[in-house]
Amino acid sequence: MIGCYDFCGHYEWTFDWLERAGGHALVREYWNEAINHDSQRHARDLIRREGFEGMAKYWGHTLAEESPELGFSITEAPDVFRIDMHDCPSKGFLLRNGLESYRDYCDHCIGWIGPMMQETGFVIDHEHNHRGQCWWELRVAGSKGGHSAVGDLAGEKDVRRRTDWSSLQTPIDGYVKATDPDAKVKPESNREGATTP
């Protein structure tokens, strides 16, 4: 039987298997069809119906269940919903168990959340550092301007305040007002001078 206890392990293995079976297009289709439209359809329905409040309900529940030690923080403002992930339960499981079949496991989040946000009328600013830390800012599609400055929204809970946030060994990947998992950019923090804790 395939279990839920080590779900993140076989989920990550599956991305690599799909890529070998049908290329990147099949992985993208999997994230959208199987995860967004099927598995997580309750999230899509909730967010489509209730917007930011739906996000708070969905991620408040699911992150508390997956990360009971509360290695995350949610910040709600009138025009933005922000998540700071300090200890991703999913990536953390892989790191602790030495599992890495797929080239960037973290891509799966925007792989299904991106299309979901596109369908529900939101855009994403996001960065992940491949070590279990990331942040997300979700705004109504068409919103102008950039993402928040460090600490402006989440204060001390802003994951970018961590001394180990950036490292040249595992560069940060980012997305700017995006919903496409392939719209990845390399943020400023990757350039020369970034700290290596």
Partner 1 sequence: MSANLSSDLPYTDTKPRGSADFYFAINATFRFLIAQLGREGWIRYLEELGLGYFAPVNRQWGAGGLTAVARYWRAFFAAEPGAVVDVVEFPDRVELRVTECPAIQHLRASGREIVREYCQHCYYLGAARAQTAGMTMRLAGGNGQCCHTYALSSAGLAPQDLNVIREAHA
List contacts with partner 1 (CB under 8 A): 1-7, 9-11, 13-14, 17, 21-22, 26, 29-30, 33-35, 38-40, 62, 65-66, 68-69, 89, 92-93, 96-97, 99, 101
CB 175 within 8 A of CB 183: yes
Q: Return the number of the residue (2 or 149) whose C-beta is nearest partner 1.
A: 2
The DSSP 8-state label assigned to residue 149 in this structure reads P
DSSP β-bridge partners for residue 185: 174
DSSP β-bridge partners for residue 135: 84, 127
Q: Return the number of the residue (97 or 170) whose C-beta is nearest partner 1.
A: 97
CB of 41 to partner 1, least distance (A): 9
Q: Return the number of the residue (33 or 164) whose C-beta is nearest partner 1.
A: 33
CB 168 within 8 A of CB 194: yes
CB of 83 to partner 1, least distance (A): 17
CB of 64 to partner 1, least distance (A): 10
Q: Return the number of the residue (20 or 48) whose C-beta is nearest partner 1.
A: 20
**141: helix, strand or coil:** coil
The two structure tokens encoding residue 146: 């950039």
CB of 109 to partner 1, least distance (A): 13
CA distances from 131 to 87, 93, 134 (A): 9, 11, 9
Q: Return the number of the residue (65 or 192) whose C-beta is nearest partner 1.
A: 65
Pairing mode, strands 80-85 and 72-77: antiparallel
CA gap 38, 49 in Å, rounded: 17
CB of 114 to partner 1, least distance (A): 17
Scanning the chain, the segments in alpha helix (DSSP H) are 7-29, 41-50, 52-66, 89-97, 107-120
CB of 110 to partner 1, least distance (A): 16
Q: Return the number of the residue (68 or 78) whose C-beta is nearest partner 1.
A: 68
